[in-house]
Amino acid sequence: MSETVYQQFRESAEKNPQLAFLCYPASATRGYCAEGIEFSYGEALQRVDALAGTYRRAGYGAGHRIALSAGNYPEHFWHLLALNSIGACVVTLNESYLPDEMAYGIGFPNCSLVLTATPWLAKVRQAVSTLASPPPVIDVAELPNDFPPPSVAAVEIPAAPSDRAALIIYTSGTTGRPKGCVISNTSCLAAGECYTGAGGLITFHQGTDRLYIPLPAFHMNVSVYTLNSITRLGNCMIMQDRFSVSRWLHDLIETRATCFHYLGIIPPLLIKTAPTKDDKRHNARFGSGAGVDPLVRTVFEERYGVPLVEAWGMTETSRSIQNSTLPRCLDLRAFGRPRPPLEVRVVDDNDNPVPSNMPGELLVRASGRDPRMGFFSGYLNMPEETEHAWRGGWFHTGDVVRQRDDGILCFVDRRKNIIRRSGENIAAAEIEEALLVLPGVKGVAALAVEDELHDEEVMACIVLMPGVACSQTTAEQLLADLRGKLGISKMPAWIAFVDELPITGTQKIQKGLIFAAGQDPRTDPRTFDLRQVKRNMRVADIADAQAQAPVGSPQ
């Protein structure tokens, strides 16, 4: 039985070297593998083992941390697997980091070497030049015959290979520096076991499935969840640099994808394109992701003929929960029931369990004697943060959910995205989903702004589709379109039309960067005040209720 990420990959490669391991569809704009390419397991193993030998000769091994920021290039996977085979730890970095962010990502874990690709070479060199002990920087496209030796020799680590750190992955926090999650080989393999064992709508076949994933390689989804799922069964991963509305369907058809991953922003954009005769001409059996509104899901599934399976997971947990069991629950943001060994609890602010169907924070753990089995090993150099997250023997996710009587879990929002208006907790995700399905809306972020009357009020920052005017009239029309979809208290009191929404490399919106630090969003020239419109709606609703009340009934 495999103990490491590399061992699992090697076992599949030796068993079926002819099977496809990694595929890139043709893309003239990607900057590499432009004509498309496919690597077999056998070819991949040769590349990985050759690299591993070069690392060993240079003196790299257990105890060394190597920064890897090579985008979605094939070399990302060759180096990740090669370094895992010699017991080194890979620190994956977002190639879009600014130099200061890159310097922190490299310096904080004390990396011995930095691997990058040509487009980011100058930026990475600038970043390491600010460090007290700059590590060497290598362009993966122009590898030397020998790596520069590490400044510190490899060390003997008493832990079993399965318990050694395979990766350090930074979480994309919105406040303060990101935390580095230390991910062991055990955690990586647990992720693959969980996903491939989901069952129901998510059923993988040995050696024949091809998973399309237009997400960044530095992230957990690709380098842990997907990579270890496909190598577990000898399947193929189809990589694209990023999601493209115009390219998505063509890629699925061209690469013969049998399944795909999505983010919540992807299906709404796809259903707003014109239908084509090729919409169902793909081989995909399911898509897996999170954050899709039920209305969008229904339209998407009817048009493309493939189910969207909602899931929940975190970098820290490795394992996920999927809404794949049949019959599938179609409630708002339902993501299924936990499967062994995962256990869950939904609690209030004092960690007391809440009744069924009531919102609370999701806590998770592994069953048995070790509640942390298969989870991340901790936050790098932050033992206090690690123990705080694990207080009471449960990992505190920071996600607000509700659990139905039958055990199905439904996502509400991140705790930090809850808007508290006049004592009512309003989930930003609910507002965003209601707006995102409207025809003129391309992107949206809901957030809280100060309000003298209600403590906090709802604001929506909206990117409009091309040709839609940024005007008071448009803002009021959007509010009118929300009638019947949201209660008036949840409707935006302010709407700001923005050109774009700042996002992380994993397509998460950075709400704290939409407006300048210290700026009152309500005074921004792009913002329209809709408070009176909301008041008028409320007055109209009261008048309608009174008019419909039976004669003599109390008012």
Residue 519 burial class via C-beta count within 10 angstroms: exposed 0-12, middle 13-18, buried 19 and up: exposed
pLDDT of residue 550: 56
Fold annotation for 422-546: GMP Synthetase; Chain A, domain 3 (3.30.300)
Quick one: residue 398, left, alpha or beta (phi over 0 = left, psi -120 to 50 = alpha)?
left
Q: How far is CA 503 from CA 97, 320, 343, 427, 519, in A?
A: 12, 23, 32, 20, 19
Q: Give residue 294's Cα distance to chain centre.
A: 19
Q: Is the peptide bond before 327 cis (omega within 30 degrees of 0)?
A: yes
Burial class (CB in 10 A: 0-12, 13-18, 19+), 477: middle
Question: Looking at the chain, how many residues does it have?
Answer: 555
Strand partners, 247: none
Which CATH topology does 5-403 take? Answer: Rossmann fold (3.40.50)
Token pair in block for residue 89: 């730890």
The 3-class secondary structure across 240-272, one letter per residue, is: CCCCCCCCHHHHHHHHCCCEEECCCCHHHHHHC
Domains of the chain, residue spans: 5-403, 422-546
Q: What is the pLDDT of residue 463?
A: 96
Task: Give backbone dihedrals phi and psi of 126, rounded to 5 degrees, phi first.
Answer: -60, -40
Instruction: List per-block mean pLDDT (blocks of 10 residues) for the chain, which spans 555 residues.
Output: 96 98 94 95 98 96 96 97 98 90 94 96 96 95 87 82 95 70 98 97 97 94 97 98 93 98 91 95 97 90 97 95 94 91 96 96 97 97 96 95 95 82 78 90 92 86 95 94 86 95 77 88 94 88 65 46
What's the count of helices (H) and strands (E) in the chain, helices before strands?
15, 26
In this structure, what token pair is assigned to residue 393? 């023997």
Position 175 scores a pLDDT of: 47
> Distance between CA atoms of 493 and 1, rounded to whole angstroms?
58
- Give the model's pLDDT for residue 538: 81
DSSP 202: B
Query: For the whole model, what pTM was predicted?
Result: 0.83
